[in-house]
Structure 1
Amino acid sequence: MKTDLKLNVLSVGNTSTGSRSLPSQFAEPIRPDLVKRAVEAIQGNTRQQHGSKKEAGQRHSAKLSRRRRDYKTSYGHGISRVPRKILTKRGTHFSWVGAVAPGCVGGRRAHPPKPIKIWAKKINDTERRKAIRSALAATLVKTLVAQRGHHVPPQYPFLLENKFEAIAKTRDVIEALEKLGFNDELNRSSEKILHAGRARRRGRGTRRKKGPLFVVSNTCSLIHAVQNIPGVDVVPVHQLNVSLLAPGAHIGRLTLFTEGAIERLEKEKLFMQEYKNLHPPVPPAPQSPASHSKLQNPSNTQKQSQPTQQKTQQPSALQPQKKVSPTKAPSTKSKPASQMTLTQLTK
């Protein structure tokens, strides 16, 4: 199924080579809420569980008594009821320092992160595919792409010819993007942004902004040629996800599709309800002629049916046998006259 929307196909030299209509995946209504749910599911599934040690901050013996006239008591000293550890003592005089409590030096945290927390999130396949289609539709809206911060050329959106997939050098990719009008976009994604605070000490002191995304039909040389360009990503069309189309759950990433990617998207009906599995189950192995003949002539393999004989249950030695009383013969003793009827008396 195709839509009424048509895009121009541009060559490596920024010349139009024709136009092509887009499949129905790009006609999906834009749903930022679904896109956000799908991105949060991806981020949650890739997050590692972490937490502090259970005994951290509680390794001191800081037990005190609160009763008067008791040994090692804090009653009457005019101090708070915080757990305290003993530094020095002399008789009944103690030198205490607060411990264990969250407000003390070296104490535990009030609500530390738990390693048993489950970060993974689930999302229905139907909802996930709908979110991908919604993110695909948002890549064609020029205003949304510009609001996200991209420097969009005037002819956007457009498609790329399949020759882009054959580019093998990074220098050639940069030259092609500059001819298409992405000079400002490449400069924007190449800048480093410094983080403030402790992030610099933890290996995440800098970040870059996301640049263009290339969507190709399959694994090609363009994937390796783009690896050294900061902010630019390449992905085969069947491996698309919401995190690439909408980084940080912000829809409208600048995306460039090749003709082969659009053809595969339409032919295989990717991310649709009637999407078919690319790896169907393996069919059973074909049977040999001998087994086939046995199936046709079951009399050769099966025994002829014999009449079944009813088995009489033998009495068990543990169970006592019941005595069967013999059948009584009909008595010939005559009844008394008082019990005989009138017809019997007249005979």
Structure 2
Amino acid sequence: MYTTLLEKSTKVLDLSGNKVKDVQLPLIFSYPVRKDLIRRAFHSSFTQGLQPKGRDPMAGKRTTAKSFGINLGLARVPRIRGAGEGALAPNTAGGRLAFPPSPRERVKEDINEKEKRLAVISALASTTIKEIVTNRGHRFTGDLPLVVVDDLGGIKKTAELEEILIKLGLEQELKRASYKRIRAGKGKMRGRKYKRTVGPLLVVHDPKLPIVEAALNLPGVDVVSAKDVSVIHLAPGGHAGRLVIYTESALKVLQDRFKGLIK
């Protein structure tokens, strides 16, 4: 897709939150925010990891329950002989499901490769618009996008990284991201009892930097390399506008990655 875009500039901050210089942003950050395209690409990426599931055809039917018949003042649902408990029928407690999941159901959503790349560009552009980011619930002070010197990638200690993020104006965001709640439903019994709040995303130029491990113990904080960043990272749940911190070299990697796609 070709469209006329205007270049933007932003300031580069050091690890203390002070301005170092101004830098020109790649054209991808000026692309229009297409929420419909972002949501479609998210569903496509998310459903790629889903495993088809289905029920045993005899599930809920392995019972001797039969209806007692009429003229007994009872509903004519199948009942277990002797106990009188309802079974087999979909509308009874302990009965089978009326429409159980089928392994033949199509769970993956397909998307064109060019659409997928444009969705990533659109999600990147949404990270520069403060209104979209704040509407998503993020709390921070300062301007967007947040671009930091490459020294950020060399951080090895979690406490040191937390201190730097606070200096960048993300103290309230870290408190928000530490919140977790108990999940509703049966997921509590399946190894996913808690739901965590999504916090800031750090986009670096190299996936092997020490900061990747340093951020593991910060709740809600994720680190991803610029060549691997996707809609899953930029728009969790299909909602655009995640708070993202870029390193200066990461901008160059993003520019080369999507070079020639837009003008």
**Same topology, TM > 0.5:** yes
Q: Do structure 1's residue 44 and structure 2's residue 75 form an aligned pair?
A: no
Identity of aligned residues (%): 37
One-letter code aligned to 1:115: P
> Which residue in the other structure is 1:13 paired with?
16
Distance 1:63 1:14, change over 3 A: closer
> Which residue in the other structure is 2:188 paired with?
200
User: What are the within-5 Å matches in structure 2 for residues 225-236 of structure 1?
Assistant: 225-236=214-225
Distance 1:272 1:57, change over 3 A: farther
* Cα contact 2:156–2:211 (8 A) shared by 1: yes
**Shift of the alpha carbon at 1:78?**
6.2
Cα distance in 2 for residues equivalent to 1:58 and 1:230: 46
**Shift of the alpha carbon at 1:179?**
1.1
Q: Do structure 1's residue 180 and structure 2's residue 168 form an aligned pair?
A: yes
> Which residue in the other structure is 2:154 paired with?
166
**Shift of the alpha carbon at 1:79?**
5.4
Structure 2 counterpart SS, 1:238: coil
> Which residue in the other structure is 2:141 paired with?
153
Distance 1:223 1:271, change over 3 A: farther
- Please say which structure displays the higher CA radius of gyration: 1
Cα distance in 2 for residues equivalent to 1:265 and 1:83: 63
* Cα contact 2:140–2:171 (8 A) shared by 1: no
Q: Which has the higher contact order (CA 8 A, sep 6+)?
A: 2
> Which residue in the other structure is 1:32 paired with?
35
Structure 1 counterpart SS, 2:92: coil
* Cα contact 1:130–1:271 (8 A) shared by 2: no
Distance 1:77 1:170, change over 3 A: closer
Cα distance in 2 for residues equivalent to 1:115 and 1:17: 56
Distance 1:173 1:61, change over 3 A: same
> Which residue in the other structure is 2:210 paired with?
221
Give the TM-score normalised by the residue count of structure 2: 0.88
Indicate which of 127, 133, 149 corresponds to 1:139: 127
* Cα contact 2:146–2:244 (8 A) shared by 1: no
Distance 1:7 1:63, change over 3 A: same
**Shift of the alpha carbon at 1:114?**
1.8
Distance 1:191 1:77, change over 3 A: closer
For structure 2, list consecutive stretches of 5 or more residues without a partner in the other structure: none
**Shift of the alpha carbon at 1:176?**
0.9
Distance 1:19 1:77, change over 3 A: same
